[in-house]
């Protein structure tokens, strides 16, 4: 059995509006400037998201810790406002499921990743979900891919990651797994190729063709 790992932010759903809402609530509470969008700050985990959103002169560990704790409180209030996946994602997963296990692999805090997976896929379409755990390494480290592969009962050599960022490309490289870029995501196909992706699906509707080639190997 093989497995397909799906990144969440920018691959399964557009979470930028909700992330921006939570970050700006945090910045306002701390008296820092807010942001029109946090698109350029994401994909490295929630703590790094907050560090990048803070004014540069404020980026010391004690203040980052305080801001991160507040951000988690703010995000818990709004994260379920992401109510639907990108158009075509449900259909792509439906095509995959008869042939492979399906898991979600995210640098979003694990509790929120689990909650969003239940909300967007309430009928058991996803076999396992892993998100960032405080004190553990996030993507691009091998830790999360290895954990997800274990939950799905497959070896890493039988896994493929679909992701929309350079961090996802690096994750696949470090874990030694196949990769397909989500060209519809936050950085686009050109940047994914520049980051080292060899294969990119322009839209969710194109994803099955790329995955089918992997499953036939």
pLDDT tens, position by position, 184-206: 999 999 999 999 999 999 999 99
Rounded Cα–Cα distance for residues 178 and 68 (Å): 33
> pTM of the predicted model, to two decimals?
0.92
Q: What is the predicted pLDDT for the residue at 134?
A: 86
Q: Is the pLDDT of residue 45 over 90?
A: no
Count of residues in the chain: 217
Q: What is the predicted pLDDT for the residue at 63?
A: 97
Residue 24 pLDDT level (bands cut at 50, 70, 90): very high
Of 10, 8, 38, 5, nearest to 112 (Cα)?
8
Q: What is the predicted pLDDT for the residue at 43?
A: 78
Q: In b/e form, how buried is each residue of 180-190, taking b as 16+ CB within 10 angstroms?
A: bbbbbbbbbbe
Q: How many CB atoms are closer than 10 A to CB 179?
A: 26
Tokens of 154: 């497959």
- DSSP 8-class letter at 142: S
Distances (CA, A) of 188 to 15, 57, 85, 107: 16, 31, 17, 19
Contact 22, 121 (CB under 8 A): no
pLDDT digits (tens, 9 = 90+) for 69-119: 999 999 999 999 999 999 999 999 999 999 999 999 999 989 999 999 999
Contact 116, 80 (CB under 8 A): yes
């Amino acid at each position: 059995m093989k497995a397909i790992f799906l990144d969440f932010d920018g691959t399964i759903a557009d979470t930028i509006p909700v992330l921006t809402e939570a970050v700006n609530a945090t910045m306002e509470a701390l008296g820092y400037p807010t942001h029109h969008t946090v698109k350029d700050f994401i994909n490295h985990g929630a703590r790094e998201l907050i560090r990048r959103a803070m004014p540069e002169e404020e980026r010391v560990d004690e203040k980052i810790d305080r801001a991160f704790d507040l951000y988690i409180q703010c995000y818990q209030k709004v994260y379920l406002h992401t109510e639907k996946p990108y158009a075509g994602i449900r259909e792509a997963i439906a095509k995959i499921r008869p042939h492979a296990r399906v898991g979600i692999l995210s640098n979003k805090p694990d509790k929120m990743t689990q909650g969003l997976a239940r909300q967007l896929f309430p009928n058991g379409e996803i076999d396992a979900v892993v998100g960032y755990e405080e004190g553990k390494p996030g993507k691009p480290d091998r830790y999360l891919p290895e954990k997800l592969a274990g939950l799905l009962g497959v070896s890493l050599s039988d896994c493929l990651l679909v992701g929309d960022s350079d961090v996802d490309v690096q994750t696949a490289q470090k874990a030694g797994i196949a990769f397909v870029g989500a060209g519809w995501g936050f950085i686009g196909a050109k940047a994914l190729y520049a980051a080292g992706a060899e294969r990119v699906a322009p839209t969710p509707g194109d994803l099955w063709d790329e995955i089918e080639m992997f499953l036939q190997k």
